[in-house]
């Protein structure tokens, strides 16, 4: 039995279902991300786990114990809010110590644990500051220390990095992941940043309209998206409407417009959607299909080309090797291997 089990969770606000039949099982020590667009019910799910929001239906169990009758202050769950929610009238040390005080931890042990927690997030020397005297990144680490110091059974992170600048965000991703490994705590991260989910998680649960549409290891979810929504939400994808015209096992022959090509997957005859990642398409001298460069966008470590092709607009991603980029308007030929053209369900 999994450590955290959500089954059939439903939460309605008025007539709209914010969470609409959500099932999720998280193993002890696992790091799972809930990834999805704004308004898909991520925060609501987290708040139901923490006990701030009561579900209309469904079951939440932690370590086999039903949480329905357990009030939020008895759940022993550490939560880092999107707004950090630090206590502005308390110092960093008082913020971190609050949970210990509530657990009646003795003064001496409390001080030691506060110091340990602040060392863990590398904030030892700021313990006497007030939250407003800290930068966004420092506040976020205080919030993390405050949640970890109570040694919670479960750590919930609600878009904890969304207010940070790009550089700090990348550092904190790694830092949180390392702390989580070190402490070995079961963690759920809510985010709508796919890069964050890919880097940090053991498994990613992609949500759409209050449900989980796919859950799996980051590599699996990226390589084998369950549907068009997942393929465009996790990374970029060229989606091509096509028709299955022949098959040999999992290798399908599809036709789109005037072009026929091979793709990987399972689907009945008829219309399908084929997904091709931009980095899996390459320029070729001969063969492939004809296309014309509409615009080349410089992204630093790579170039992103928008192409006009018989399949419609294609996006192509090329590593920046220092070679001269291809000029706008130039006629080119592009190709991909059949393995990298995925036939999607629905």
Ligand X SMILES: Nc1ncnc2c1ncn2[C@@H]1O[C@H](COP(=O)(O)OP(=O)(O)OP(=O)(O)O)[C@@H](O)[C@H]1O
Task: Yes or no: say if 227 and 206 are a contact pair by the CB < 8 Å rule.
Answer: no
**42 makes contact with ligand X (CB under 6 A):** yes
The Cα 120–Cα 184 span in angstroms is 13
**78 makes contact with other proteins (CB under 8 A):** yes
Q: Which of 54, 89, 270, 324 binds other proteins (CB under 8 A)?
A: 89
Burial label for 91, CB within 10 Å (0-12, 13-18, 19+), is middle
User: In sequence order, what are the residues at sequence separation of 6 or more whose Cβ sits closer than 8 angstroms to the Cβ of residue 142?
Assistant: 84, 86, 92, 95, 96, 121, 123, 131, 134
The sign of the dihedral angle between the CA atoms of 208, 212, 218, 219 is: negative
**130 makes contact with other proteins (CB under 8 A):** yes
Q: Which of 1, 15, 38, 301 binds ligand X (CB under 6 A)?
A: 38
- DSSP H or E run through 279: none
Closer by beta carbon to Mg ion, 162 or else 227: 162
Q: Which of 8, 27, 28, 39 binds ligand X (CB under 6 A)?
A: 39
CB of 147 vs other proteins, minimal distance in Å? 8
User: In sequence order, what are the residues at sequence separation of 6 or more whose Cβ sits closer than 8 angstroms to the Cβ of residue 62?
Assistant: 3, 4, 75, 153, 154
The Cα 341–Cα 346 span in angstroms is 15
Q: Which of 81, 25, 93, 23 is nearest to 50 (CA)?
A: 81
Residues 16-55: x/- map of binding to Mg ion (CB under 5 A)? ---------------------------x------------
The Cα 148–Cα 117 span in angstroms is 7
The Cα 93–Cα 179 span in angstroms is 19
Which residue in the shown chain puts its C-beta closest to Mg ion?
43
Closer by beta carbon to Mg ion, 39 or else 312: 39
Closer by beta carbon to ligand X, 35 or else 105: 35
Closer by beta carbon to other proteins, 132 or else 167: 132
**18 makes contact with other proteins (CB under 8 A):** no
Which of other proteins, Mg ion, ligand X, none lies near 13, with the C-beta cut-off 5 to 8 A by kind? ligand X
Q: Which of 33, 44, 180, 231 binds ligand X (CB under 6 A)?
A: 44
**113 makes contact with other proteins (CB under 8 A):** no
Closer by beta carbon to ligand X, 16 or else 338: 16
Q: Which residue has the tokens 């399972």?
A: 266
Q: How many residues bind other proteins (CB under 8 A)?
A: 30
CB of 144 vs ligand X, minimal distance in Å? 19
Which of Mg ion, ligand X, other proteins, none lies near 103, with the C-beta cut-off 5 to 8 A by kind? other proteins
Task: Yes or no: say if 318 and 335 are a contact pair by the CB < 8 Å rule.
Answer: no
Closer by beta carbon to Mg ion, 158 or else 281: 158
**167 makes contact with other proteins (CB under 8 A):** no
**258 makes contact with ligand X (CB under 6 A):** no
**204 makes contact with ligand X (CB under 6 A):** no
The Cα 273–Cα 144 span in angstroms is 42
**Interacting residue ranges for Mg ion, rule: CB under 5 A:** 43
């Amino acid at each position: 039995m999994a450590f955290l089990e959500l089954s059939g969770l439903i939460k309605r606000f008025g007539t709209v279902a914010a969470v609409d039949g959500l099932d999720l099982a998280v193993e002890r020590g696992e790091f799972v991300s809930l990834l999805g667009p704004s308004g898909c019910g991520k925060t609501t799910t987290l708040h139901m786990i923490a006990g701030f929001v009561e579900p209309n239906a469904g079951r939440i169990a932690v370590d086999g114990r039903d949480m329905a009758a357990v009030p939020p202050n008895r759940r022993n769950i550490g939560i880092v809010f999107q707004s950090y929610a630090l206590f502005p009238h308390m110092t960093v040390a008082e913020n971190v110590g609050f949970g210990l005080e509530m657990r009646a931890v003795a003064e001496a042990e409390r001080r030691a644990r506060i110091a340990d927690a602040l060392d863990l997030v590398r904030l030892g020397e700021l313990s006497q500051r007030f939250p407003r005297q800290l930068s966004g990144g420092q506040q976020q680490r205080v919030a993390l220390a405050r949640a970890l110091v109570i040694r919670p059974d479960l750590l919930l992170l609600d878009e904890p990095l969304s207010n940070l600048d790009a550089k700090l965000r990348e550092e904190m991703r790694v830092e949180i992941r390392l702390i989580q490994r070190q402490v070995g705590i079961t963690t759920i991260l809510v985010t709508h940043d796919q890069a964050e989910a890919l880097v940090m998680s053991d498994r990613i649960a992609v949500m759409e309209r209050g449900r989980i549409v796919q859950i799996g290891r980051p590599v699996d979810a990226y390589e084998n998206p369950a549907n068009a929504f997942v393929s465009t939400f996790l990374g970029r994808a060229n989606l091509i409407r096509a028709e299955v015209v022949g098959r040999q096992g999992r290798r399908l022959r599809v036709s789109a417009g005037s072009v026929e090509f091979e793709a990987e997957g399972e689907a009945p005859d008829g219309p399908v959607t084929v997904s091709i990642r931009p980095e899996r398409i390459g320029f070729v001298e001969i063969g492939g299909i004809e296309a014309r460069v509409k615009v080349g966008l410089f992204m630093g470590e790579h170039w992103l080309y928008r192409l006009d092709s018989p399949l419609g607009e294609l996006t192509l991603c090329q590593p920046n090797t220092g070679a001269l980029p291809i000029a706008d308007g130039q006629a080119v030929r592009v190709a991909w291997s059949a393995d990298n053209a995925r036939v999607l369900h629905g």
